[in-house]
Amino acid sequence: MTRSIAGPRDSSRTISDDPRRMVLAGSAIAGLFFVGFLGWAALTPLDAGAYAPGTIVVAGNRQAVQHREGGVVTALKVQEGQVVTRGQPLVEVSDTDIKASERGLAGEVLTLLAQRARLVAERDGRGAFAAPPEFASLSPQDRSLANEAMSLQQLQFRARRQALETQRGVLGQRVLQLNEQAGGAERQLKANVDQQQLIREEYQGVKELADKGYAPKTRLLALKRAEASLEGENGAHRAQIARSSEAVGETRLQIMSLNRERAEEVAGQLRDIQVRLDDLQPKWGAVREQLARAVIRAPASGKVVGLSVFTVGGVISPGQTLMEIVPQDRDLVVEARVSTADADDLRLGQQTQVRFSSLHERNLPILSGVLTKLSADSFADEKSETRYFRAEVKVLPSEMAKITAIRGVQAGIQPGLPVEVIVPLRRRTALDYLVEPLVQTFWRAGREH
């Protein structure tokens, strides 16, 4: 038989010719990669943070320009993008009807104020009166009405004062006449009393002579008759004095009644005037404010945006937003929308990172900011039907200057630019990021019944 003799083993065979070696090599490579990946994941920081999209806005937001009553546009004084100053006229609205109403109320109020000044002078018994203090700050147009009202009231004041003084003078003259009559009667009465005393003395002397027969008794009777006649005259004089005194009292009562009636009349008119002023002055003030609003002015200095009025003669509705003013004298802030899942982890004063996602320069830095506001409740987004919290992030001017230095002063940062805000919450590694979902799953699974 023939025996085959095996030759020596071929030393040229490689690992690829041995499947087991291939498996071992692949496992070693995979193990090294896995160990390296775990080491990288354990050492690489990947901090947890809350992401919120946002927009650059002006602190305090835009100033909407509206008109309360609406009306017909009579003048349009600005254009889209124009820079305006605070108080500058923007739009004028027709004021014909309201101006007529304002003039009517102005005439009524100014006349009532002049009447009140005149009545106060009459009440206090003054001989003249000055314009009320409200007239000191009137416009030239109102001052003309006020001067007319004061002229009429001055004439009325003098006429009423003269009429009252005439009435008082007549009554006072009557008192003087009555007093003079009473004085004459008193003087005549005194003269009669003195004459009666002389008659009595003469009667005593004649009586002594008559008793001795030296004088006739007729002489005594004549003296008695003279005394009785004087006594009768005395009665008439006393009655005249009483009547005069009573008439004086009545006349003085008439003077007091005249003064009282005038005082009551003045007091009543003052009350009525005050009631009317309390009613008309607020109305006049409201109409004047409405008239002033016919010229719509800029609420702040800034740039006009969103102009919605273009035609003179067009009609604007009450409360319609005609345009908005983007203030230029206020800081720019970031208004962000925070997810409801992240809002509980946010605190005022937290540091934030702000990135301008819409700017195309590649070397733009990420800016540092501070969380300054967080809404107390969530808001609903009608488009996405999701809820969010409003947050405000303040970026320091020094940080904003970094963007301006790169983009230039002309480009700068404009309100309305979209940004991305990240609020770092806690430190973690990439391994923590990968393991955390598994830990949460096991934690929930361990608590299921």
Query: Which string of DSSP letters, residue by residue, matches 153-165?
Result: HHHHHHHHHHHHH
Q: Are 308 and 257 within one domain?
A: no
Q: Are 266 and 309 within one domain?
A: no
> Sorting pLDDT into bands at 50, 70 and 90, what band is 49?
low
Which range, of 30-39, 126-135, 139-148, 304-313, averages the lowest pLDDT? 30-39
Q: Are 197 and 286 within one domain?
A: yes
| Residue range 217-249, pLDDT digits in tens | 788 788 788 878 877 887 888 888 888 888 888
Is the pLDDT higher at 11 or at 17? 17
> What gap in Å lies between CA 24 and CA 31, rounded to an integer?
10
Question: Quick one: which H or E segment has residue 388?
Answer: strand 386-395
> What gap in Å lies between CA 278 and CA 21, rounded to an integer?
107
> What gap in Å lies between CA 230 and CA 198, rounded to an integer?
12
Task: Compute the average pLDDT of residues 316-332.
Answer: 84
Q: Are 288 and 400 within one domain?
A: no
> Is 34 a domain residue?
no
Number of domains the chain is built from: 3
Using CB atoms within 10 Å of the CB of residue 309, give its burial: 0 to 12 exposed, 13 to 18 middle, 19+ buried: buried
> Is 36 a domain residue?
no
Whether the Cβ atoms of residue 73 and residue 295 lie closer than 8 Å to each other: no
Quick one: what percent of the chain has pLDDT higher than 90?
A: 22
Q: Helix, strand or coil for residue 72?
A: strand
| pTM for this prediction | 0.56
Q: Are 258 and 338 within one domain?
A: no
- pLDDT at position 440, please? 58
Most confident region among 2-11, 268-277, 407-416 by mean pLDDT: 268-277
Q: Are 82 and 154 within one domain?
A: no
**pLDDT above 60: residue 46:** no
Burial letters for 288-303: b for 16+ Cβ neighbours within 10 Å, e otherwise? Answer: bebeebbebbbbbbbb
Q: Are 266 and 214 within one domain?
A: yes
Report in angstroms the alpha-carbon separations of 254 from 133, 163, 169, 381, 385: 36, 15, 12, 84, 87
Q: Are 241 and 337 within one domain?
A: no
Residue with tokens 């008239």: 291
> What gap in Å lies between CA 352 and CA 345, rounded to an integer?
13
Is the pLDDT higher at 145 or at 190? 145
Question: CA 254, 268, 249 angle in degrees (round to 5)?
Answer: 10
> Is 325 a domain residue?
no
Question: Quick one: which H or E segment has residue 199?
Answer: helix 140-211
* Boundaries of domain holding 110: 98-292
> Is 4 a domain residue?
no
Which range, of 37-46, 182-191, 253-262, averages the lowest pLDDT? 37-46
Residue finishing a domain among 281, 316, 351: 316
> What gap in Å lies between CA 283 and CA 279, rounded to an integer?
7
Task: Compute the average pLDDT of residues 318-328.
Answer: 87
Beta bridge partners of 92: 75, 295
> Sorting pLDDT into bands at 50, 70 and 90, what band is 195?
confident
Whether the Cβ atoms of residue 302 and residue 84 lie closer than 8 Å to each other: yes
Q: Are 361 and 259 within one domain?
A: no
**pLDDT above 90: residue 276:** yes
Tokens at 428, concatenated: 């973690």
> Is 269 a domain residue?
yes
Residue 429 sits in a domain whose CATH number is 2.40.30.170
- pLDDT at position 270, please? 95
> What gap in Å lies between CA 181 and CA 175, rounded to an integer?
10
> Sorting pLDDT into bands at 50, 70 and 90, what band is 427?
low
- pLDDT at position 7, please? 45
Mean pLDDT of the chain: 81
Q: Are 343 and 245 within one domain?
A: no
Q: Parallel, antiparallel, or unpaired: how do β-strands 89-93 and 379-381 relate?
A: unpaired
- pLDDT at position 5, please? 41
> What gap in Å lies between CA 5 and CA 100, rounded to an integer?
133
Distance of CA 137 to the CA centre of its chain: 20
- pLDDT at position 1, please? 38
Whether the Cβ atoms of residue 200 and residue 255 lie closer than 8 Å to each other: no
Residue 78 sits in a domain whose CATH number is 2.40.50.100
> Is 7 a domain residue?
no
> Is 202 a domain residue?
yes
Select from 91, 98, 95 the least CA-distant residue to 321.
Answer: 91
> Is 8 a domain residue?
no
> What gap in Å lies between CA 393 and CA 332, rounded to an integer?
10
Q: Are 270 and 138 within one domain?
A: yes
Q: Are 255 and 388 within one domain?
A: no
